[in-house]
Amino acid sequence: MKSILIVDDNKEIGEFLEDLFHIRGFEVVTCLAGEKAIEAGGSRRFDAAFVDIFLPGMDGVEVVERLNRLQPRMRIFLMSGYPTVEKVEKGLKVGAEAFLKKPFGVEDILEMMKKD
């Protein structure tokens, strides 16, 4: 079974993504903070991660960088409702595969997951 890591301090977004992936047969772990995501990434393998740019404590770009070091084959998607060009570019540079602007729809997420 494929597994997904969701990192977002917005519970509604986390629940939306969790439901979306559960319905499609994915195992899902949701973290509200970057530190918890790094712990999860260090203790189990994930196929993909969806990481919000703006998180309490450790920001999403740092989470992407550290997850990429822990699991270089994990597909990492950066997301935000209020992105800055600087943060998006840095996130892509340190390991994010793509950026998703919130709000996004089910089709946007599924399309991202289809690309290899």
> In this predicted model, what pLDDT tens digit does every residue of 13-60 receive, in sequence order?
999 999 999 999 999 999 999 999 999 999 999 999 999 999 998 999
With tokens 């450790």, the residue in question is 58
Q: Which fold has domain 3-111?
A: Rossmann fold (3.40.50)
Q: Taking the model in full, what pTM does it have?
A: 0.94
So what's the pLDDT on residue 35?
96
So what's the pLDDT on residue 104?
87
List pLDDT tens digits, range 87-108. Answer: 999 999 999 999 999 988 888 8
Q: Which residues are within 8 A (CB) of 80 and not within 5 positions of it... i.e. 6 or more apart?
A: 52, 53, 54, 60, 87, 88, 99, 101, 102
Split at pLDDT 50, 70, 90, the class of 116 is low
